């Protein structure tokens, strides 16, 4: 495991040789190796002890038992044989020899071989061989001859009996030695068994203790290597999360946690940067809003000034105009006879100019009032607007024999007088700018998503494409005022009203191909012009884009 | 015969009104005051106007020095003695708010002075004719 992390991100740290530090992984692996080694040792010891126990137990329980029993059987066989001979000597009855015959004749069947097989290490084997030798001598030298003697009817002499006792005693003492050797050996083995069993028990207890200690040590180490650093780091992170962004986060413990701490710290730095950026953005937004507020106020102020200007214009500017016109006329009336034609013409131009100026002022005033001097906005039935507009245009309509058709028109939200004026201006234009034929005017409406789209098309003289935008400018005229009257406010007014209601208005481009032209510069009776289509939209539902102003204008003068 | 009070600060308009009424016989009964304060003095017979004759008709300009025409209108229409006198607002203003405001204050008519002199004469004579021959005014 290599130590590559740096808490501070300072490259100086990378160059300094770091002491070899064990990571969590290495530490846990090492601890496990130690524990496994310990457990392996303990288990090995336990197994060895167990095997030893089993071995000793088998010796004590089976081998020595077998040895002792076969020795004792041998002795009993001998004892039975000896008793049988003595009985036979007394009774001379062959039946008395039955025990001898059934004794298994130990002298002919030594057990020392078996004994050495079962207990290879015992020192009793030579003693047993000695006893077997004595038994063989007793039988061959005494028992067999004595049986023959008694068979022949003779009696045993005391010397015979003594000789027999002596030989049997030889056997008995050798046998006793054998038993006396086997018994202590067996005792010793039993003691060994007890020792080994105790050892096994001790090893068991020791294993348990070792396991317990290993577990405890592992638990402490895990706490120190994992839990504590994690809890510490979590605590640090929580402090930051709870809002103390300035709190520096440092990891403790194994390098992984130090690295994790460094990562969290880096995250904190990034967080601080982002919070600062957000704060900066918020400040900028506030600033922008303040600026906007200022500008709105400025705009409202300027609107009020404009309103005042408009009022002043309507009132005070007209006054002198009226004077000029009126007194020129009075001059003409009083002194008409005393002036020549030229003077009359001068007066005519002066009066005409003043009147036109007054009309311009009034139009301008009206134009400036759209959306300011508002009637409360409400649901407006455009069909009614159209009807009212047509009523206002009654005279023009009759004079021109105009034919006007319209779709069912929708209800929109807005100001009825203004929307009526739009209709009136558009239809009025269509009548006014007619070609040779009687005007045919069509008002159409269709829904297009969130907007109603309207068209007013006619068969009039049309608007040349290059002027399509200019016609919406205030006081822009495309024709000499001698040809068509008016100040040129109509479409500008329409545009302002439609935009105030959240819509758009434009001149539809004429269809491709050659357009109708007046013959010899004059529209002939019955001749259709290229026609004009004005298209405009109104939102299906919307609030008016009206500036927050006092509902009526207060003028202080 | 009715007496008319013309409240008008503009000498030109006074002259034009007088010219318009020339020959109708009204001119001799035409009293002229130049501002709102004088108008009120005249109506309440105060100061220089103690001998003033209560008019049968008031032609009132709005844009007046000292006391505004609206104020004069308001006071006249607020006074139980004076409010019977018909008041015709005769002004240059075409502003809708002036029209509304005047009728709110119970003006009897609102007339915009036409630019055209012939029209002006016609309008003034109409007014005169209307109030002299057509309408019936309260007896004094």
| pLDDT at A152 (0 to 100) | 87
Q: What CATH class is the domain A377-539?
A: alpha beta
Give phi and psi for A79, each to the nearest 5. -60, -45
- Residue A16 pLDDT > 70: no
- B110 neighbors B95 (Cβ within 8 angstroms): no
Asked if residues B34 and B62 have their Cβ atoms less than 8 Å apart, the reply is no
In the DSSP assignment, the letter for residue A370 is: T
- Better pLDDT: B1 or A201: A201
Asked if the A268-369 domain carries CATH number 1.10.287, the reply is: yes
Which of B20, B117, B121 to substitute to test the interface with A, most A CBs within 10 Å?
Answer: B117
- Find the mean pLDDT for residues A86-108: 86
Give the mean model confidence (pLDDT) for residues B9-27.
80
pLDDT range class, residue A8, cuts 50, 70, 90: very low
CA distance A168 to A174: 10
Question: What is the average per-residue pLDDT within A8-29?
Answer: 62
Angle of helix A124-137 relative to helix A158-222, nearest 10 degrees, comes to 160
Map out the domains of chain A as residue ranges.
22-238, 268-369, 377-539
Please determine, for residue A6, whether its predicted confidence score (pLDDT) is greater than 60: no
SS3 state at A141: helix
Tens digits of residue pLDDT in A375-427: 677 888 999 999 999 999 999 889 888 899 998 899 998 888 889 999 999 99
Average the pLDDT over each of A290-294, A339-343, A500-504 and give the range with the smallest value. Answer: A339-343
pLDDT of residue A18 exceeding 90: no
Strand pairing category for B57-60 and B87-91: parallel
Confidence (pLDDT) at A556: 38
The closest CB to that of A326, out of B16, B93, B97, belongs to: B16
Where do runs of H (alpha helix) occur along A223-340? 228-241, 255-312, 318-335
Percentage of the residues of chain A whose pLDDT score is greater than 70: 92
Q: Which CATH architecture has domain B4-132?
A: 3-Layer(aba) Sandwich (3.40)
Q: For residue A351, list chain B residues with Cβ-Cβ distance below 8 A.
A: 116
Residues found in chain B: 140
Task: Give A395: exposed, middle or buried? Use CB within 10 Å, 0-12, 13-18, 19+.
Answer: exposed
Of the listed ranges A227-231, A308-312, A436-440, the one predicted with least confidence: A308-312
Contact predicate A455/A421, CB 8 Å: no
Mean residue pLDDT of chain A comes to: 83
**pLDDT for the residue numbered A472:** 87
**Mean pLDDT calculated for residue range B49-78:** 90
With a cut of 90, say whether residue A543 has pLDDT above it.
no
pLDDT at A373: 60
| Tokens representing residue B65 in the block | 């020095």
Q: Tell me, what's the pLDDT at A4?
A: 45
In the Cβ-directed half-sphere of A404, how many Cα atoms lie within 13 Å?
Answer: 25
User: Which are the contacts of B17, defined by CB distance < 8 A and separation ≥ 6?
Assistant: B6, B8, B30, B59, B124
Domain boundaries defined on chain B: 4-132
Gap between the Cα atoms of A121 and A404, Å rounded = 141
Distance CA B23, CA B11 (A): 20
How far, in Å, are A529, B5, B112 from residue B89 at the CA level? 48, 12, 8
Question: For residues A271 and A376, what is the distance between their CA atoms, to the nearest angstrom?
Answer: 51
Contact criterion met (CB below 8 Å) for B12 and A323: yes
pLDDT over 90, % of chain A: 16
Residue A10: pLDDT above 50?
A: no
Instruction: Say which of A311, A323, A329 has its CB closest to residue B118.
Output: A329
Contact A553 B97 (CB under 8 A): yes
Give A-chain residues touching B116 at CB under 8 angstroms: 325-326, 329, 351, 355
pLDDT reported for residue A11: 43
Q: What is the pLDDT of residue A442?
A: 92
| Tokens 């809890």, located at residue | A231
Query: In this predicted structure, what is the pLDDT of residue A372?
Result: 67
Taking 50 as the threshold, does the pLDDT of residue A555 lie above it?
no
Which one, of A74, A106, A79, A87, lies nearest residue A147 by Cα?
A87
pLDDT grade for A284, boundaries at 50, 70 and 90: very high
Give tens-digit pLDDT for A336-382.
778 788 888 888 888 888 888 888 888 887 887 777 665 677 888 99
What average pLDDT does the structure give for chain B? 87
Interface of A with B in 368-397 (CB under 8 A): 369, 373
Q: Has residue A251 got a pLDDT over 90?
A: no
Work out the average pLDDT over B38-61.
90
pLDDT at residue B28, as a whole number? 63
- For residue A5, the model assigns a pLDDT of 44
CB of A357 within 8 Å of a chain B CB? The answer is: no
Lowest mean pLDDT among A67-81, A240-254, A307-321, B125-139: A307-321
**pTM confidence score:** 0.50
Q: How far is CA A55 from the centre of its chain?
A: 66
> Can you read off the two tokens belonging to residue B111?
């007339």
pLDDT higher than threshold 50 for residue A547: no
Q: Do A377-539 and A268-369 fall under one CATH topology? A: no
Q: What is the mean pLDDT of residues A489-516?
A: 86
Mutate to test the interface with A, among B21, B35, B69, B92 (most CBs of A within 10 A): B92
Cα-Cα-Cα-Cα dihedral of A342, A348, A353, A359, to 10°?
Answer: -170
A134-153 pLDDT per residue, tens: 989 999 988 888 888 888 88
Say if residues B117 and B16 touch (Cβ distance below 8 Å).
yes
ipTM: 0.71
């Amino acid at each position: 495991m290599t130590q590559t992390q740096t808490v501070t991100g300072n490259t100086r740290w990378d160059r300094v040789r770091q002491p070899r530090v064990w990571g969590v992984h290495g530490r846990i692996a090492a601890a496990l190796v130690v524990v496994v080694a310990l457990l392996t040792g303990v288990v090995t010891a336990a197994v060895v002890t167990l095997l030893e126990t089993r071995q000793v137990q088998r010796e004590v329980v089976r081998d020595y038992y077998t040895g002792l029993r076969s020795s004792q059987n041998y002795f009993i066989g001998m004892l039975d044989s000896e008793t049988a001979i003595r009985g036979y000597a007394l009774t001379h009855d062959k039946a008395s020899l039955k025990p001898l015959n059934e004794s298994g004749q130990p002298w002919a069947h030594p057990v020392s071989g078996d004994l050495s097989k079962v207990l290879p290490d015992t020192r009793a084997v030579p003693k047993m061989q000695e006893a077997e030798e004595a038994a063989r001598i007793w039988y061959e030298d005494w028992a067999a001859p004595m049986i023959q003697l008694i068979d022949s009817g003779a009696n045993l002499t005391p010397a015979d009996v003594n000789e027999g006792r002596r030989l049997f005693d030889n056997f008995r003492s050798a046998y006793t030695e054998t038993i006396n050797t086997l018994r202590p050996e067996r005792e010793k083995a039993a003691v060994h068994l007890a020792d080994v069993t105790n050892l096994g028990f001790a090893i068991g207890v020791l294993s348990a203790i070792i396991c317990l200690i290993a577990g405890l040590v592992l638990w402490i180490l895990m706490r120190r290597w994992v839990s504590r650093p994690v809890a510490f780091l979590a605590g640090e992170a929580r402090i930051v999360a709870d809002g103390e962004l300035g709190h520096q986060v440092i990891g403790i413990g194994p390098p992984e946690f130090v690295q994790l701490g460094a990562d969290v710290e880096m995250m904190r730095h990034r967080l601080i940067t982002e919070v600062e950026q957000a704060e900066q953005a918020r400040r900028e937004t506030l600033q922008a809003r303040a600026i906007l507020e200022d500008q709105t106020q400025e705009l409202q102020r300027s609107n009020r000034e404009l309103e005042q200007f408009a009022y002043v214009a309507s009132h005070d500017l007209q006054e002198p105009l009226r004077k000029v016109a009126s007194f020129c006329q009075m001059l003409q009336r009083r002194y008409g006879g005393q002036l020549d034609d030229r003077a009359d013409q001068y007066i005519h131009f002066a009066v005409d100019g003043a009147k036109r100026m007054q009309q311009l002022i009034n139009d301008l005033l009206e134009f400036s009032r759209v959306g300011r001097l508002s009637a409360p906005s409400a649901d407006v039935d455009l069909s009614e607007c159209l009807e009212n507009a047509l009523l206002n245009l009654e005279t023009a309509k009759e004079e021109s024999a105009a034919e006007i058709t319209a779709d069912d028109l929708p209800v929109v939200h807005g100001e009825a007088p203004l929307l009526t004026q739009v209709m009136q201006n558009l239809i009025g234009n269509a009548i006014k700018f007619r070609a040779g034929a009687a005007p045919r005017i069509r008002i159409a409406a269709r829904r297009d998503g969130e907007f109603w789209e309207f068209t007013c098309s006619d068969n009039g003289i049309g608007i040349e494409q290059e002027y399509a935008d200019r016609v919406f400018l205030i006081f822009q005229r495309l024709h000499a005022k001698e040809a068509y009257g008016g100040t040129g406010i109509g479409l500008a007014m329409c545009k302002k009203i439609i935009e105030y209601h959240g819509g758009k208005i434009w001149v539809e481009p004429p269809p491709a191909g050659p357009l109708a032209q007046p013959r010899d510069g004059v529209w002939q009776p019955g001749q259709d012009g290229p026609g004009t289509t004005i298209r405009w939209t109104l939102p299906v539902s919307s609030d008016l884009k009206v500036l927050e102003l006092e509902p009526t204008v207060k003028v202080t003068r | 015969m009715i007496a008319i009070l013309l409240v008008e600060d503009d000498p030109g308009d006074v002259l034009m009104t007088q010219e318009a009424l020339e020959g109708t016989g009204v001119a001799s009964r035409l009293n002229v005051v130049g501002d709102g304060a004088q108008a009120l003095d005249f109506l309440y017979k105060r100061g220089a106007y103690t001998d003033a004759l209560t008019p049968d008709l008031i032609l009132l300009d709005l844009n007046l020095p000292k006391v505004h025409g609206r104020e004069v209108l308001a006071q006249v229409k607020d006074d139980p003695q004076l409010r019977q006198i018909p008041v015709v607002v005769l002004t240059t203003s075409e502003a809708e708010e002036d029209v509304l405001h005047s009728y709110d204050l119970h003006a009897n008519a609102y007339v915009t002075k036409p630019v055209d002199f012939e029209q002006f004469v016609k309008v003034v004579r109409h007014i005169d004719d209307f109030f002299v021959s057509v309408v019936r005014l309260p007896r004094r």
